[in-house]
Structure 1
Amino acid sequence: MEKRALISVSDKENIIEFAKGIIGLGYEILSTGGTLRTLEEADIPATAVDEITGFPEILDGRVKTLHPAIHGGLLAKRSDRTHRNQLEENNIMPIDMVVVNLYPFKQTLEKEGVTDEDIIENIDIGGPAMLRASAKNYADVTVVVDPADYPAVLKHLQEDSLTAGIRKSLAAKVFRHTANYDAMIAGYFTGETKEDFPETYTVTYEKVQTLRYGENPHQKAAFYKIPLPHEGSIANAKQLHGKELSYNNIQDANAALDIVSEFEEPAAVAVKHMNPCGIGTADSLDTAFMRAYDADPVSIFGGIVAVNRQINEAVAEKLSDIFLEIIIAPGFTAEAMELLTKKKNIRLLELDATDSAAEHEKLTAVQGGVLIQQRDNGKVSERDVTVPTKRNPEVQEMKDLLFAWKAVKHVKSNAIVLAKDNQTIGVGAGQMNRIGAANIAIEQAGEKAKGAVLASDAFFPMPDTVEAAAKAGITAIIQPGGSKRDQESIDVCDKYGIAMVYTGMRHFKH
């Protein structure tokens, strides 16, 4: 009995070669619309679906394959006598292969100036129905959704080695594909209706690469990205040089991008294990980087540097003197590239971090579920703060306080950051109590702490941190406020002439 294949594809890549291959194996081809015209133009014999259904395409092509003559042929179990009899009684021929990919919904969303009508018309109905029906009946039907699979499927057909296991794998890919497609559609409609946390939450990601391993060599890992481009994200970075990124590289690079995106002026950020070890800003990138480097010249070794200006030869010379895993910048001059690419293993990523602070949700996996929250895009300016102490910050102190507040937001809690003259000089990260974090930051700063400012990501539960700050010579403090014992901290500040400001906003980072 002659076998039949239904081909209806939006992406026509390599479909002519595949169709010729199955014709050579004795398949009859059924097809629709643009695919049928493509096959006919290539002199490949094909039968229009409406000749099989006896019903024309209607509603501008919205209805063409939704018919028992098609779906009966796809869903009938060949081993079931009742199914075979019903096919015969209704003059329905089995369909042995389906080659379908879907209307370009994702590509439509990406178009500038796209209308709602265009988006709606690119929601495929018949395609997913055929794919799902064929995949459900994989025991009898071969279903191909990915043009990349054409050569392998054709080879298996030629060698008569297309097993049920292979068809099941193809079916699994179909269900992943339709789930991805539907998730994008659901995301579009949910966004249009502005529902923050709907009753079910469906997201989809597309694989970028399999990683060598995860956080540690015994852990398997892979990197996925959201289907639609997210400007300023590590997933869209262009790697110009160096070996493949690792799991930890990607985590650290993402953290570096988050931090550097806080600053409009030239800025440089050095990150180690997802915490900043040095941040500097200045009127020039050269000076900004030296401030980031001088903040902690020990911890930057083996770290990641992100900047928000093009790297020129002068900056590249300084960067090349240090062992770094990754350098991220919106661009590199030819001279900088020539210098930096002399190092074989350093990864150079081109990415503008300007848009990396755009609104999107943060997902954190927990056992048996996931936590979802809005990204922490909270910002504070001078007009947002209040001053509970007797002394107000001086002009430079206020600049340093706001700089330190941007930095402490990106340090693991409990977090304390010391800063002076647009430079971090001490970072206390991830401690179980706040005074512990303060002591680490103060010890790192040493004599530089005199005349510096201190930022705390959450309020002081007791005045011990303020006492330590006063002893170190810190002159101003920025913190959320809101503790029942705030007055005790205010009193200590007033005792030592420290200016303290409240932000009314905390920045826990777990």
Structure 2
Amino acid sequence: MAVVSKKIPAPDKVQIKTALLSVSDKTGIVELARALADLGVKLLSTGGTHKAIAAAGIAVTDVSEVTGFPEIMDGRVKTLHPMVHGGFLAIRDDEEHVAAMKAHGIEGIDLAVINLYPFEEVRAAGGDYPTTVENIDIGGPAMIRASAKNHAYVVTLTDPADYPELLESLKADAGQTAYSFRQRMAAKAFARTAAYDAMISNWFAEALAIDTPRHRVIGGVLKEEMRYGENPHQKAAFYVTGENRPGVATATLLQGKQLSYNNINDTDAAFELVAEFPPEKGPAVAIIKHANPCGVAVAPTLVEAYRRALACDSTSAFGGIIAVNSLLDAETAEEIVKLFTEVIIAPEVTEEAQAIIAAKKNLRLLTTGALPDPRIPGLTAKTVSGGLLVQTRDNGMVEDLDLKVVTKRAPTEQEWLDMKFAFKVAKHVKSNAVIYVKDGQTAGIGAGQMSRVDSARIAAIKAEDAAKANGWATPLTHGSSVASEAFYPFADGLLAAIAAGATAVIQPGGSMRDQEVIDAADEHNVAMVFTGMRHFRH
């Protein structure tokens, strides 16, 4: 049954007389305490926060003196007390509440400055189970929620970034705060505890291998507001979830203007793709446009890998995103800046390369410190009307699969290498996807078509265009290996690839007409391998 409001109007201005400060992140807390004390505000505090304020010579009362009860159980129990929560929750203009305060000696608390145990940081650092559980804050969220609920009379601050605005308000308005400010801080406070609880619940689901918890919440912290979303009429912002995964969300922007919504989406796609190629097996480069690769290659040197990736489709690469799997050197940087590029993302960059890229002021350069591990699943989410689709990240690796040769002819050694390469790329191409690879270089990429035959033909056309642009006698699809991210339902898609010059095929298999497709491959002396795993990407 819902609680009925007494509908007592909230006052516009509230005088800050008493404040409770209890923070894990002590950034700016001593300076805030001193400024509040100078304004005549009585300070209450707990534990380490009390020690820090007192050590600075600022008058502060320990909460235990208010509650008449000491901190116990290693500080687990200290603020969960009626003297604290009554001070937060009392409606100052309700006669019954005021009478209860007088009867029990409860003093009103007008300002709550609270932030929480560093659960996110402990989890991201890989803390063990007991340590992670110990960093679940209980009293902090309780105080935040209590004070924020009563924002008609109480200000709740959960972020040190809001301290200056509070002090400006108090100094400009004789120690008072406006209702609109208290409302905004309350909204921020509830969002903070919601994101905190979401992180905790998701960690439990992960730790206990609960794949489909009854309630699934995905929380994030605002990293930056964006000018707009996919299109100028859409509003957007970038939130980070705290996942301990190197990538665009955790990268350092070394130069260039703010990334757009589309930049972030494409940069993530590029870096996740290039991470499929471990640097110990050689340099790799992926060039992305509109979340699809337009060229991917490996080579003995990074600059050669870049040239080979670019050669696949230099037209589409214009204004694209470039991801590399290893240290970005000066020679590669020299080549990259010859083409208009939106973003470069790399694990590391040399000083010489950074200096070269600096000449292009609008070119964004990101470093991550490491590559994401493609075998670690994590979660991905997509909204639909009235719902949220959540799944684990596609962490299938072709190296881990039981690959089966299903044709009379087995692949050559080079065809094996190229087929595996092509299947890795197919995992990151919008379905329907068909990818031709020759000698560790994409020859043609067909993405996002309703028909697999069309994807094969488009990729072949792209290869023909690349041959003309690079002055090659024949397209690289001649003698190539081709990958399909899902099974061929008919032989027509395979025949289109064979017509383009493919000599080996890798695909999941599993169609009712598999034998028809195998027979067509045998008829053309084409080697075919089944993976048993598909990589739909929508």
TM-score normalised by the shorter chain: which range applies? over 0.9
> Of 105, 109, 129, which residue of structure 1 is paired with 2:142?
129
Matched, 1:386 2:401: no
Distance, in Å, in 1 between the alignment partners of 2:501 and 2:161 is: 65
Deviation at 1:210, TM superposition (A): 0.9
Distance, in Å, in 1 between the alignment partners of 2:83 and 2:448 is: 64
The corresponding residue for 1:28 is 42
Partner letter of residue 430 of structure 1? G
The corresponding residue for 1:157 is 170
Matched, 1:305 2:322: yes
Query: Once the two structures are superposed, what CA deviation does each residue of 1:107-139 show, in whole Å capped at 9, x if it has no partner?
Result: 333456x45443333322222222211111111
> Of 200, 206, 222, which residue of structure 1 is paired with 2:215?
200
Distance, in Å, in 2 between the alignment partners of 1:381 and 1:46 is: 62
Deviation at 1:60, TM superposition (A): 2.4
Of stretches 64-73 and 204-213 in structure 1, the one that deviates more from structure 2 is: 64-73
Distance, in Å, in 1 between the alignment partners of 2:348 and 2:16 is: 59
> Of 154, 159, 175, which residue of structure 1 is paired with 2:190?
175
The corresponding residue for 2:156 is 143
The corresponding residue for 1:366 is 384
The corresponding residue for 1:246 is 260
Deviation at 1:20, TM superposition (A): 2.7
Is residue 19–residue 44 contact of structure 1 (8 Å, CA) maintained in 2? yes
Task: Pick closer, same or farther for the CA change 1:90–1:232 going to 2, 3 Å.
Answer: closer
Of stretches 486-495 and 425-434 in structure 1, the one that deviates more from structure 2 is: 486-495
Distance, in Å, in 2 between the alignment partners of 1:118 and 1:481 is: 46
Is residue 401–residue 531 contact of structure 2 (8 Å, CA) maintained in 1? no
Task: Pick closer, same or farther for the CA change 1:215–1:18 going to 2, 3 Å.
Answer: same
Is residue 72–residue 78 contact of structure 2 (8 Å, CA) maintained in 1? yes
Query: Once the two structures are superposed, what CA deviation does each residue of 1:126-167 show, in whole Å capped at 9, x if it has no partner?
Result: 222222111111111222222222221122222335111211
The corresponding residue for 1:339 is 356
> Of 54, 57, 71, which residue of structure 1 is paired with 2:71?
57
Task: Pick closer, same or farther for the CA change 1:349–1:356 going to 2, 3 Å.
Answer: farther
Task: Pick closer, same or farther for the CA change 1:335–1:28 going to 2, 3 Å.
Answer: closer
The corresponding residue for 1:191 is 206
Distance, in Å, in 2 between the alignment partners of 1:414 and 1:37 is: 62
Is residue 391–residue 497 contact of structure 1 (8 Å, CA) maintained in 2? yes
- Aligned with 2:314: secondary structure? coil
- Aligned with 1:431: secondary structure? coil
Partner letter of residue 10 of structure 1? S
Of stretches 155-164 and 396-405 in structure 1, the one that deviates more from structure 2 is: 155-164
The corresponding residue for 1:223 is 238
Distance, in Å, in 2 between the alignment partners of 1:429 and 1:302 is: 19
Deviation at 1:497, TM superposition (A): 1.3
Deviation at 1:289, TM superposition (A): 1.4
Deviation at 1:286, TM superposition (A): 2.2
The corresponding residue for 1:407 is 425
Is residue 382–residue 398 contact of structure 1 (8 Å, CA) maintained in 2? no
Deviation at 1:260, TM superposition (A): 0.6
Distance, in Å, in 2 between the alignment partners of 1:316 and 1:103 is: 43
Query: Once the two structures are superposed, what CA deviation does each residue of 1:302-332 show, in whole Å capped at 9, x if it has no partner?
Result: 1111111222222222212111111222222
Matched, 1:431 2:444: no
Matched, 1:463 2:480: no
Distance, in Å, in 2 between the alignment partners of 1:252 and 1:201 is: 27
- Aligned with 2:285: secondary structure? strand
Task: Pick closer, same or farther for the CA change 1:12–1:328 going to 2, 3 Å.
Answer: closer
Of stretches 90-99 and 350-359 in structure 1, the one that deviates more from structure 2 is: 350-359
- Between the aligned residues of both structures, percent identity stands at 49
Distance, in Å, in 2 between the alignment partners of 1:401 and 1:212 is: 42
Is residue 260–residue 353 contact of structure 1 (8 Å, CA) maintained in 2? no
Distance, in Å, in 2 between the alignment partners of 1:418 and 1:450 is: 9
Distance, in Å, in 2 between the alignment partners of 1:2 and 1:169 is: 17
> Of 81, 87, 108, which residue of structure 1 is paired with 2:101?
87
> Of 273, 281, 285, which residue of structure 2 is paired with 1:268?
285
Distance, in Å, in 1 between the alignment partners of 2:495 and 2:109 is: 80
The corresponding residue for 1:495 is 523
Distance, in Å, in 2 between the alignment partners of 1:68 and 1:335 is: 62
Is residue 46–residue 62 contact of structure 2 (8 Å, CA) maintained in 1? yes
Distance, in Å, in 1 between the alignment partners of 2:168 and 2:429 is: 54
Distance, in Å, in 1 between the alignment partners of 2:331 and 2:124 is: 38
Is residue 247–residue 371 contact of structure 2 (8 Å, CA) maintained in 1? no
Deviation at 1:97, TM superposition (A): 2.0
Query: Once the two structures are superposed, what CA deviation does each residue of 1:34-84 show, in whole Å capped at 9, x if it has no partner?
Result: 222223222322222222222222222222222222222221111111111
TM-score using structure 1 length: 0.95
- Aligned with 2:488: secondary structure? coil
Distance, in Å, in 2 between the alignment partners of 1:58 and 1:260 is: 52
TM-score using structure 2 length: 0.90
Deviation at 1:353, TM superposition (A): 5.3
Deviation at 1:408, TM superposition (A): 1.4
Is residue 19–residue 109 contact of structure 2 (8 Å, CA) maintained in 1? yes
- Aligned with 1:288: secondary structure? helix
Deviation at 1:32, TM superposition (A): 2.2
Distance, in Å, in 2 between the alignment partners of 1:471 and 1:50 is: 82
Unaligned 5+ runs, structure 1:
none
Task: Pick closer, same or farther for the CA change 1:318–1:31 going to 2, 3 Å.
Answer: closer
Task: Pick closer, same or farther for the CA change 1:94–1:440 going to 2, 3 Å.
Answer: same
